[in-house]
Chains A and B, each alone.
Chain A
Amino acid sequence: MFAKTVVSKAVPYALGYWQKMTIGLWLLACGCFMLADTEVIALEPWSELGHMLLGVLQPDFFATEYLLEALWQTVSFALLGVCAGLLWGAPLALVYHKPWVAAFCAFIRAIHEIFWALLFLQLFGLSPVTGILAIALPFGATFARVFHDIISLAPADTGQNLPAGTDMLSRYVFGRIVHVSGQLQAYIRYRFECALRSSAVLGFVGMPTLGFYLESAFKQGQYHQGGALLILFVLLIGSISYWCRARLLPLYLLLALVFLPELPAIDGHLIWRFLSQDIWPPMLQGVSHLEQLDLQRLNALGSWLFTLLEKQALPGIFATLILALVALAMTHVLTLLWLPLVSRKLRGKWTVFGGKAMLLVLRSLPEYLLAFVLMLLLGPSMLPAMLALALHNAALLIFLTTRQSDKLVVSAQFSPKLDNYFYEILPRLYPGVMALLFYRFEVILRETAIFGMLGIATLGFYIDSQFVEIRFAGALVLMCFTAMMNIGVDALGRKILKGQKVPLLGC
């Protein structure tokens, strides 16, 4: 197999590290697939799909009220969210090697933006603060992790050339960060694209971004309106490099701050009420002294926790892991199959351009919509969600990998054929692809939450139900389970990749 060239030079005929990894992943995913609910039923989706297609072909750009405002707020929330995320995430990167910092960040990252927003909605109400914090919190935690990983791969020997007596800060900045500043900037640019997506998705829970109108339009079958919004959103993301210039950023930031929607005063009572009442299980509400904690209350608390665990947390974790693992393996297979099709080393200019346009559409589309279309085709099992996640993530992975692969220098003997590609290019990309895949696993886990809203019983489904029933204590307990699951996955991922010199492809 292709990966042999990388690792099995020393021990011929043994399975290389990445081969073991790959086979392990596939076997695990096959096992999960057997356990998953993947029933396909025969349906009659064509009239609905026809309407959808017609909607995209004949978009109605005037059906949406306050459209420019929604577009601007989508950009503005993303911009402010990323900036706030950088403010708290970048410094944490310096201490990310401490296990408790890593665990803390994994905790924050585990929870989907939508649930952060639902939580902040209780504290700040319908306010831009809710939306911006919902982006800033998980994005900051991601910055901390990735910045740490990038910086730790920077060459460390420059420090020895600095004059004696150089202070620690200068030593750090000029000795290490300067080496990777290009990578850091590229990463921030990429995360801004992610933030635009998140910002749009926050519209699903009421923030005044594109998602607010997009979700309603698709939900209620207004496909001409929905098609127009979708096209605008894809164009917005596809044109980032044209309108998002470093020089213009200060101006955008200023505009974002000035034209923020009206900011209601932050109400201390709401925060106090949330902390003192809302987050406590029903039997503990109104308990102000420790003596009131009698056996009866403790029993009630115990059975409440047990029911939550048995009926929601455990089945939710099971479904979430199964869905995410199969989606991960599908992403992997799709990436490998698709990568050669858009490689500039193999294909002509126009094929690559077409392929990349398709990637742009797939990575911009909210998975939620993709899953809904697939549901009409395949039925209401887990399969549509798996495929939606795989298509979206594979598109992202290829986008990130081709940025690197197109720059690779190939040997003089290289001819644009598939076997040459497998021999010469893929082995050099493979460790990076796998590292990205492990990064994406966490994202996939988090994204399963969205499918909870389509009725697939992941942890997100149960958390959403708790919010709907205004049971914040239950929601918080389930969110803690989500976070603990992610801390475990994060620790495992670090263990697996440890010792492998993995080039970070500006992931």
Chain B
Amino acid sequence: MKTLPYIGALCLSLFASSVYSATFTFTAIPDENESQLRTRFDKVAVYLEKELGVEVKYVPVKSYSAAVTAFRNNQVQLAWFGGLSGVQARRLVPGSEAIAQGYEDQFFKSYFIAHHSTGLEPSANFPALKGQTFTFGSKDSTSGRLMPQFFIERNLGKKPEEVFKRVGFSGDHSRTITQVQAGVYQVGAVNYKVWETALADGKIDTTKVKVIWESPVYPDYQWTVRAGVDAGFGAGFKAKLTAALLNMKDADLLASFPRQSFVSAENSDYEPIENVAKTIGMLD
């Protein structure tokens, strides 16, 4: 019978309620170059710690859905989300707010890229894609899946599986470029910044793959803070945090995201993304 108290304690600990930890935690997934993730974002944590006066910790995650889950479960109170994941997170935790976005995120866009064998040429008009094979990026990417699928459906009036001979999900922007360049898929949709960086680094063979269409602009990545941080970390915490993010000027820190600067944002900026997600059936 000696074990009984221990079992009791174990059960109690199972149902202990969540308390705000004194540590402020955040997560971020950059849209390119995930190498040295922790080392890079630990520097951001140090910056925030200095500005906010509380202990700040970076939690590495692997996917947008993991970031959304961590946000929902209060394992992180702040996250650098993509357009779609931000909308998902704010719907799951009412009262959460988008407080800042990258300068570039005010007018983000996707590129459609094509293998040379398709004979498709750059054009301002939506390309003739019927019967091609096509790859998106990862399933939950705003620039690699959500917006491209929306533009396809709006311009061609059909679901991607009806337009294309084969539809794939490469899982990542860099991989989309690799696959279209090798001809695994004939056409693909990719985040414009990832393309520009890879091009500048000489990683793209432009005789094999080129941009054939630029999408209209839409809002993308943003910092979202969880509801109730003022109660957990003191009055005015959210305002202080917002100011700290907007005042981040160190090029080394900004390069981790990678953005030239942060500008202010609010939830309503992302209504277009939410509507698009509903239109293509990714949100109820």
A469 & B282 in contact (Cβ 8 Å cutoff): yes
Partner among B66, B175, B283 whose Cβ is within 8 Å of the Cβ of A219: B175
B184 contacts which chain A residues (CB < 8 A)?
Answer: 43, 45, 375-376, 379-380
Is the CB–CB distance between B182 and A204 below 8 Å? no
Pair B66/A221 contact, Cβ less than 8 Å: no
Docked pose: A264 CA to B179 CA in angstroms: 40
Beta-carbon contact of B168 and A380 below 8 Å: yes
Q: How far is the CA of A125 from the CA of B37 in the complex (A)?
A: 20
Complex Cα gap A66–B247 (Å): 30
A-B contact list, 9 entries, CB within 8 Å: A44-B208, A121-B66, A216-B62, A220-B35, A220-B175, A454-B168, A455-B169, A455-B171, A468-B64
A243 to B199, CA, bound (A): 45
Report Cα–Cα, A125/B75, bound state, in Å: 7
Q: Does B266 contact A (CB under 8 A)?
A: no
Q: Does A225 contact B (CB under 8 A)?
A: yes
Interface bracket on B: 35 or more
Asked if A63 lies at the interface with its beta carbon under 8 angstroms from chain B, I say yes
Least CB distance from B175 to A in Å reads 6
Point out the residue from A121, A208, A212, A265 that lies within 8 Å of B13, measured CB to CB. A265
Q: Is A465 at the interface (CB under 8 A from chain B)?
A: yes
Mask of A448-461 contacts with B, CB within 8 angstroms, 1/0: 00000111000000
B133 within 8 A of A: yes
Q: Can you name 10 extra interface pairs (CB under 8 A) apart from A266-B14, A268-B17, A454-B169?
A: A47-B182, A48-B181, A204-B62, A206-B66, A219-B174, A220-B32, A221-B174, A265-B18, A269-B17, A270-B73
Whether A48 contacts B168 by the Cβ 8 Å rule is no
How many angstroms from the CA of A206 to the CA of B208 in the assembled complex? Answer: 34
For A470, the chain B residues whose CB sits under 8 A away are 65, 68, 88, 92
**Closest Cβ–Cβ distance, residue B51 to chain A (whole Å):** 24
Q: Which residues of A contact B172 (CB under 8 A)?
A: 219-220
Is there an interface contact between A380 and B18, defined as CB atoms closer than 8 Å?
A: no
- Give chain A's interface residues, CB within 8 Å of chain B: 41-45, 47-48, 63, 65-66, 121-122, 125-126, 203-206, 208, 212, 215-217, 219-222, 225, 264-271, 282, 375-376, 379-380, 453-455, 464-465, 467-470
Residue B244 lies at the interface, judged by CB distance under 8 Å to chain A: no
**Which residue, of B13, B64, B183, has the highest number of chain A Cβ atoms within 10 A?**
B183
Residues on the A chain within 8 Å of B63, using CB? 205-206, 468
Taking CB as reference atom, which chain A residue is nearest B172? A219
Q: Is B191 an interface residue (CB 8 A)?
A: no
A265/B205 contact (C-beta < 8 A), A219-B175, A375-B184, A469-B282 known: no
* B123 contacts A by Cβ under 8 Å: no
The closest CB in chain A to the CB of B32 belongs to A220
User: What are the residues of chain A within 8 A of B69 when measuring CB–CB?
Assistant: 121-122, 125
A126, A222, A282: the one contacting B35 at CB < 8 Å is A222
Name which residue of chain B comes closest to A205, CB basis. Answer: B62
Query: Could you tell me the distance between the alpha carbons of A41 and B133 in the complex, rounded to whole angstroms?
Result: 11
Instruction: Give the CA-CA distance A455 to B36 in the complex, in Å.
Output: 27
Determine if B73 and A205 form an interchain contact, defined as CB atoms under 8 angstroms apart: no
With the chains together, A239 CA to B180 CA distance in Å? 39
Give the docked Cα–Cα distance between A66 and B37 (Å).
10
